[in-house]
Structure 1
Amino acid sequence: MGTMAASVEEIGAAAPQALELRAVQHLGELRSTFESGRTRPLAWLQDQLRGLLRLLAEKEEEAFRALHDDLGKHRAEAYRDEVGVILKSANAALREIGKWVAPEKVWVPLVAFPASAQVVPEPLGVVLIFSCWNFPLGLSLEPLIGAIAAGNAVVLKPSELAPATAKFLEDNIGQYMDATAVKVVQGGPAVGEQLMEHRWDKVLFTGCPRVARMVMAAAAKHLTPVALELGGKCPCIFDSASVGTGRNLQTSVNRVIFAKWSSCAGQACIAIDYVLVEERFAPTLIKLLKSTLKRFIADSDQMARIVNTRHFKRLGDLLKDPAVAASVLHGGNLDAKNLSIEPTILLNPPLDSAIMTEEIFGPLLPIITVKKIEDSIAFVRARPKPLAVYAFTNSASLKRRIVEETSSGTVTFNDAVVQYGIDTLPFGGIGQSGFGQYHGKYSLRCSATRRRSSTEASSWRPCSGTRRGTSRRSP
């Protein structure tokens, strides 16, 4: 993996002139394809989606191997979180695309009579997609589905931190989709910088806020619109008083564990970052988490590894603070050789420590206690708006307050992370967790197309200045 990553970095560092030439050639070909009109017909859009479905069907084993090479993902996790999600999304788009791209008739007031009007979805042009390393297949192909379904031409820049998946995409996309309309460009930061020197009609970026600021600054030179999906510290409010006992309580604990540790070892933007629970119930919750973890994650081979040594060190450093280390109640073991970290539970680490001020993005779970569960709302409001707020509660009043008094990209009750797989819901952040929404028809509406108004007046109206309630005047 290290050798592959280094070779990809060399692509971005060795020959800037060659990179520039390649970017210009790709962009020129893509613009010619788009301006020719070939990406507009419904039949072309459907062919691209069918091609993507064939790719995943025929190259599924290669995709699994790439995800394992990059992140150590078990094939069950790879299918559940990436391949299966994309199959569902592509099939849904193929089924609904005729409705999504159809003009929408709108009401016209009497003052404009006789006239008609409609809203026409219009593709933006050439779209640049930057994907992320934690779900390198899903976060590449999900936005690609939306951009293509809208009728755009696309350059996809996979993450250099997942080199096997990046190579898989570059080797196969052009074989199954229109190679004059979809290009995959590998490389590191230098490649991204070169790409952003050019004018795009839309940029979609998934990653961290630091790089997002650089993408926005570069896009501003061309007034290019940008959509950002950035993540953040997603809180989980655990209302023990209303969750119940027995099976209901165990189900809630199971779902917390799933949402924290089962997807890419917690390296997910929508993973639970920390849990808020009443002080009196914290010991019970921690006991249940420990006992359930032993059953769920008995085999470390079932968990993905940390992506690289830099991120492994970053997570290890979070635990080096003596006050944080003292708060560890379970786990905390680090295996540098295999880049794995044991699922770790902490109780009330200092709120000003890095683990509580930075997005964790790993298998460390702080438990934060409050006197009353209602106090959790003020706790969440005092921090940057997250990508998701989760709450396990059956209290109607608490649900209402969470919806009305907090702000986040999404809110989910009595489960977590499942919202990502619901194509009928928009997915995206707010504030520091990003902006712009995609998935399903929302990819077309917000990430890859604009709504263009089209009005047609009747040619037999005697004069545009004559309206009911107005008088005709000579110039």
Structure 2
Amino acid sequence: MEPENIDINATLIDQVFALQKEQALKMRSSTANLRIALLKKLLDWITKHQEDIRRAIYADFKKPYPEIDISEIFVVTSEIKHAINHLESWMKPKKVSTPLTMLGSSSYIHYEPKGVCLIIAPWNYPFNLALGPLVSAISAGCTAIIKPSEMTPHTSALIRRLVEETFDKALVSVFEGEIEVAQKLLTKPFDHIFFTGSPAVGKIVMKSAAEHLSSVTLELGGKSPAIVDIQADLKDAASKIAWGKFVNCGQTCIAPDYVLVHRAVQIPFLEELKNQIKKMYDPSGKGIEKSKDYARIVSTKHLKRLKHLMADAEIKGAQLFFGGYVNEEENFFEPTVLTGVTDDMTILQEEIFGPILPVKPYDDLKEALDFINSKPKPLALYIFSKDNNKIQEVFSNTSSGGAVANDCVLHFLQNELPFGGVNNSGIGKAHGHFGFLAFSNEKAVLKQRIGLTASKPLFPPYGLANKKIIQSLLKWF
């Protein structure tokens, strides 16, 4: 029996961290072929165990299998394939031009792995958001420790099994557990930390990283708006907003958090929205609760938080346009649409992260943009309009991590685009080449000739000739 004063988790974390630190030194000279082989092992495991992945995620919050295939498995496998196809070119040193003042020298950027990395994953897309960053870490030649969410224990256990069956623990390791495990991990001097979660916890992670001057990628969230212009195709906009909002039961960091709709089209838009929700989740008219295509809220705690948001809004005058039914025993929260929302309601102040959609009218575009700009910068922004000038006006006069015209969420699946937030919604970018860069140090390398160089005439002692050269530099270069 172990003595009570010995912390087993802390001891094991220390041991694994030491192993990974040693392995990270070896990985500095790893080739593209070696990293690609590791990625292929990961891809092979996922391909062979798709049913296990589906069952684990479904067990955590009854996520429909097709949603799991699209938003969990496909996202990761496409990320792996994209990295395999491009890794060799990403790793090549990048030559840069030589200015006249550096005549005789040559320079390039060398991409070296940062080293030992920590990936803290959330519960809402527990497989995707743990394995996606791992793909980038492996591509960059890093070692990694993954802390999956304790809120999705079945998926966390599966991720641990995947890692143990695929990688040596000196390369990749998983630590399950409650918040105490994350706190212990954050005391270690990681070379990079990749965190996905709320802005509040992101601040805690950043403070811990600052103790060791560890670099961070923070994928956070915020209130991502959707604007429905007077010239929008209302049926098209309603269907895409309904899907983007209610997929995964609204538990998506880039889901439309609220809709700003032009007052002239508010009523027909709401009717289209109601029709699209029924079409997706209640085509037989038996009730959304019986739908096999609608997930559940991840926990009772989260369900209660959403109920409080609803109660606060209704007490302050919001009207229930659609939905609102809750079954606490099943963690079921019906797709819900609220109108008559005002700025003093908590639902317009905090990220909802659930299947409640407030709809607020506006009279002119400037009013909508002023409302968006009065809030912290969101992770995503959506505009629905047939008018390209209006779309460009929105993009030019707002700041967000990503922006999409006439659709929702899809930019996450575009591996050629950087994914991430700005300020309150995140720091740093992920996916594809941008994920590779997040886990890499872009080392500046300059090679100088031996003997006479362009800089030697500037060496002291500073006589008249030196001073004339320096003055010429200031004037002409």
TM-score, with length taken from structure 1: 0.91
Q: Which amino acid aligns with 1:65?
A: R
Q: CA deviation at 1:300?
A: 2.6
Is 1:284 paired with 2:268? yes
Is 1:63 paired with 2:53? yes
* Residue 92 of structure 2: aligned partner: 102
Q: 1:471 to 1:112 in 2, by over 3 A?
A: farther
Structure 2 Cα separation of the partners of residues 267 and 325 of structure 1: 25
| CA-to-aligned-CA distance 1:252-308 (integer Å, 9 cap, x gap) | 21111111112x111000000010012221111111111121111115321110000
Q: Which of 251, 258, 270 is the equivalent residue of 2:254?
A: 270
Q: Secondary structure at the match of 1:302?
A: coil
| CA-to-aligned-CA distance 1:7-53 (integer Å, 9 cap, x gap) | xxxxxxx9871111011001000011111247622122111110110
Q: Which amino acid aligns with 2:280?
A: F
Q: CA deviation at 1:415?
A: 0.4
* Residue 243 of structure 1: aligned partner: 232
Q: Which amino acid aligns with 2:136?
A: G
* Residue 20 of structure 1: aligned partner: 10
Q: Secondary structure at the match of 1:444?
A: helix
In the TM superposition, what are the counterparts of 1:371-382 in structure 2 within 5 Å? 371-382=363-374
Query: Are the counterparts in 2 of residues 33 and 39 from structure 1 also a CA contact under 8 Å?
Result: no
* Residue 335 of structure 1: aligned partner: 327
Query: Are the counterparts in 2 of residues 465 and 471 from structure 1 also a CA contact under 8 Å?
Result: no
| CA-to-aligned-CA distance 1:155-193 (integer Å, 9 cap, x gap) | 011011011111001112132234321111111100011
Structure 2 Cα separation of the partners of residues 38 and 444 of structure 1: 14
Structure 2 Cα separation of the partners of residues 93 and 22 of structure 1: 31
Q: CA deviation at 1:460?
A: 5.4
Q: 1:341 to 1:325 in 2, by over 3 A?
A: farther
Q: Which amino acid aligns with 2:254?
A: I
Segment drifting more, 345-354 vs 332-341: 345-354
Structure 2 Cα separation of the partners of residues 463 and 204 of structure 1: 42
Q: Which amino acid aligns with 1:315?
A: L
Q: Secondary structure at the match of 1:221?
A: helix
| CA-to-aligned-CA distance 1:103-128 (integer Å, 9 cap, x gap) | 00110112322221101111111000
Is 1:400 paired with 2:384? no
Is 1:45 paired with 2:35? yes
Unaligned runs of 5+ in 2: 283-289, 459-463, 468-477
* Residue 10 of structure 1: aligned partner: none
Q: CA deviation at 1:425?
A: 0.3
Q: Secondary structure at the match of 1:351?
A: coil
TM-score, with length taken from structure 2: 0.91
Structure 2 Cα separation of the partners of residues 287 and 172 of structure 1: 45
Q: Which of 258, 275, 288 is the equivalent residue of 2:243?
A: 258
Segment drifting more, 110-119 vs 93-102: 110-119
Q: Which of 95, 105, 128 is the equivalent residue of 2:118?
A: 128
* Residue 470 of structure 2: aligned partner: none
Q: Which of 292, 295, 300 is the equivalent residue of 1:301?
A: 292
Structure 2 Cα separation of the partners of residues 406 and 37 of structure 1: 41
Structure 2 Cα separation of the partners of residues 373 and 466 of structure 1: 60
Q: CA deviation at 1:462?
A: 6.9
Q: Secondary structure at the match of 2:351?
A: coil
What's the RMSD between the two structures over aligned residues? 1.8
* Residue 441 of structure 1: aligned partner: 433
Q: Which amino acid aligns with 2:405?
A: F
Structure 1 Cα separation of the partners of residues 113 and 455 of structure 2: 31
Structure 2 Cα separation of the partners of residues 191 and 319 of structure 1: 33
Q: Secondary structure at the match of 1:438?
A: coil
Q: Secondary structure at the match of 1:93?
A: helix
Query: Are the counterparts in 2 of residues 277 and 373 from structure 1 also a CA contact under 8 Å?
Result: no
* Residue 7 of structure 1: aligned partner: none
Structure 2 Cα separation of the partners of residues 359 and 103 of structure 1: 42
Q: 1:354 to 1:472 in 2, by over 3 A?
A: closer
* Residue 287 of structure 2: aligned partner: none
Q: Secondary structure at the match of 1:384?
A: coil
Query: Are the counterparts in 1 of residues 395 and 403 from structure 2 also a CA contact under 8 Å?
Result: yes
Q: CA deviation at 1:352?
A: 1.2
Is 1:313 paired with 2:304? yes
Q: Secondary structure at the match of 2:249?
A: helix
Q: 1:211 to 1:16 in 2, by over 3 A?
A: farther
Is 1:169 paired with 2:159? yes
* Residue 31 of structure 1: aligned partner: 21
Query: Are the counterparts in 2 of residues 39 and 153 from structure 1 also a CA contact under 8 Å?
Result: no
* Residue 357 of structure 1: aligned partner: 349
Q: Secondary structure at the match of 2:112?
A: strand
Q: 1:336 to 1:15 in 2, by over 3 A?
A: farther
Query: Are the counterparts in 2 of residues 307 and 339 from structure 1 also a CA contact under 8 Å?
Result: yes
Q: Secondary structure at the match of 2:311?
A: coil
* Residue 471 of structure 2: aligned partner: none
Query: Are the counterparts in 2 of residues 39 and 45 from structure 1 also a CA contact under 8 Å?
Result: no
Query: Are the counterparts in 1 of residues 193 and 214 from structure 2 also a CA contact under 8 Å?
Result: yes
Q: Secondary structure at the match of 2:360?
A: strand
Q: Which amino acid aligns with 1:310?
A: K
Q: Secondary structure at the match of 2:259?
A: strand
Q: Secondary structure at the match of 1:87?
A: helix
Q: CA deviation at 1:383?
A: 0.8
Q: Secondary structure at the match of 1:320?
A: helix
Q: 1:181 to 1:395 in 2, by over 3 A?
A: same
| CA-to-aligned-CA distance 1:304-352 (integer Å, 9 cap, x gap) | 1000000000001111124357411111000111101111111122221
May I ask how many residue pairs the two structures share in their alignment?
451
Structure 2 Cα separation of the partners of residues 463 and 346 of structure 1: 69
In the TM superposition, what are the counterparts of 1:73-84 in structure 2 within 5 Å? 73-84=63-74
Is 1:151 paired with 2:141? yes
Q: Secondary structure at the match of 2:226?
A: strand
Q: Which of 75, 84, 88 is the equivalent residue of 2:78?
A: 88
* Residue 5 of structure 1: aligned partner: none
Structure 2 Cα separation of the partners of residues 36 and 235 of structure 1: 46
Q: CA deviation at 1:461?
A: 3.9
Structure 1 Cα separation of the partners of residues 5 and 255 of structure 2: 38
Query: Are the counterparts in 1 of residues 27 and 113 from structure 2 also a CA contact under 8 Å?
Result: no
Structure 1 Cα separation of the partners of residues 134 and 27 of structure 2: 19
Q: Secondary structure at the match of 2:382?
A: strand
* Residue 215 of structure 2: aligned partner: 225
Q: Which amino acid aligns with 1:272?
A: P
